Amino acid sequence: MAQRIDIKDLNVYYGSFLAVEGVTMAIEPRSVTALIGPSGCGKSTFLRTLNRMHEVIPGARVEGSLTMDGVDLYGSDVDPVAVRRQVGMVFQRPNPFPTMSIAENVLAGIRLNNRRISKSDARDVVEQSLVGANLWNEVKDRLDRPGSSLSGGQQQRLCIARAIAVKPQVLLMDEPASALDPISTLAIEDLIAELKDDYTIVIVTHNMQQAARVSDRTAFFNIGGTGQPGRLIEMDDTRTMFSTPTEKSTEDYISGRFG
């Protein structure tokens, strides 16, 4: 079920402002692709084009091609709502719905398509998803408590459970651990390693060690200067990127000389 995504000559605009320019890359299925780079280099913007979430901002548009399994994600017959169902997303700050219980949070996406889901099916989905997100053992006794009653790290794993409950092809993560403590971060990183067996994962991170630990391939984005568009500088196997990068700026960034 994990699918590959191919991006070719992608430009992202906000109105007339060119935010990201000329990105070409392939995102392999069943692997973790990390996007790194300094703040404002467009890596988050780029990530959000993968499930058309950037369209939430008025005036946002893209040029170039972005295909999943050969299907243009921006084709005229493609429904952005369907795209987001196939390409799930986890955000920087945990955002469980505060008025829903833990179980309802997990089921939130499923209920959109299937209102009359039977109780036993619902229980199965909740358990599968929470197990998949390494959260089951911690919350199995209090599934009807509000999602906001969990700790930050648990909330983030709840959000991951919510995202995988709808069985997407791809999972996007926008700095999923940056708001968490080190122990919760570790739990998330372990989870990512497990999830890549089933999903194509793209993760944006500011944390170089994290990228090195969790990802198979790493893409480095950079920006020419203020008001300049962000660009993909280079992309390679993570090990290569962190040991022998081709570009000088990649080496500078990875070794902590800027950013």
Partner 1 sequence: MSNSPQLARPTAAETAAVAAPAPSSGAPGDGPRTPVRGHPHRDRAGRAFSTAATVAGSTILVTLAAVAVFLVLRAWPALSASPEELTEGIQWFPEGTTLLGFVGPMLFGTVLASVIALAVAVPVSTGIALFISHYAPRRMANALGYLIDLLAAIPSVVYGLWGVAWLAPRLQPAWAWLSETLGFIPLFEGPAANPPRVILTVGIVLAVMILPIITAVAREVFLQTPRLHEEAALALGATRWEMIRMAVLPFGQSGLISASMLGLGRALGETMAVLMILSPGLTYSLALLQAGQHQTIAANIANQFPEANPLGVSTLIATGLALFVITLAVNMAARWVVARRKDFSGAN
Partner 2 sequence: MATLEQSAEPRSDRPTTRELLTRGDTRRKATDRVMAVVVTLAFVVALIPLLSLSWTVLSNGIGRLSPYFLSVSMRGVFGGMDAGGIYHAILGTVLVTGVAALISVPIGIMTAIYLVEYGTGPLARAVTFFVDVMTGIPSIVAGLFAYSLFSLFLGPGVRFGVVGSVALSVLMIPVVVRSCEEMLRLVPNELREAAYALGVPKWLAILKVVVRTAIAGIVTGVMLAVARVIGETAPLLVTVGVIDSINTNVFEGRMMTLPVYVFRQYAQGLVPCADGATDCIATINIDRAWAAALTLILIVMLLNLAARMISKFFAPRTGH
By DSSP bridging, strand 170-174 and strand 200-204 are: parallel
CA–CA gap between residue 78 and residue 81 (Å, rounded): 9
> In angstroms, how far is the first alpha carbon of the chain from the final one?
36
- Min separation Cβ 142 and partner 1, Å: 18
Nearer to partner 1, 42 or 109 (CB): 109
- Window 9-48: contact mask with partner 2 (x via CB under 8 A): ----------------------------------------
Q: How far is CA 125 from the centre of its chain?
A: 21
Residues 15-54 that bind partner 1 (CB under 8 A): 51, 53
Lookup result for tokens 């358990």: 127
Q: Which of 26, 71, 131, 193 is in the footprint of partner 2 by CB under 8 A?
A: 71
Residue 94 contacts partner 1 per CB under 8 A: yes
Residue 109: count of CB within 10 angstroms of its CB: 21
At residue 34, the 3 state secondary structure works out as strand
Q: Which of 64, 97, 123, 234 is in the footprint of partner 1 by CB under 8 A?
A: 97
CA–CA gap between residue 116 and residue 166 (Å, rounded): 15
Compute the C-alpha angle 187/193/195, nearest 5°. Answer: 100
| 258 burial type by CB count under 10 A (0-12 exposed, 13-18 middle, 19+ buried) | exposed
Residue 82 contacts partner 2 per CB under 8 A: yes
Choose the one of partner 2, partner 1, none that binds residue 59, judging by a C-beta under 5 to 8 angstroms depending on kind: none
Q: Which of 56, 58, 81, 182 is in the footprint of partner 2 by CB under 8 A?
A: 81
Nearer to partner 1, 100 or 208 (CB): 100
| 209 burial type by CB count under 10 A (0-12 exposed, 13-18 middle, 19+ buried) | exposed
Q: Which of 117, 143, 179, 208 is in the footprint of partner 2 by CB under 8 A?
A: 117
Residue 57 contacts partner 2 per CB under 8 A: no
Nearer to partner 2, 85 or 206 (CB): 85
At residue 88, the 3 state secondary structure works out as strand
Choose the one of partner 1, partner 2, none that binds residue 41, judging by a C-beta under 5 to 8 angstroms depending on kind: none
Residues that bind partner 2 in the complex, under the rule CB under 8 A? 1, 3, 68-71, 73, 75, 77-79, 81-83, 85-86, 110, 112-114, 117, 121, 124-125, 167, 169
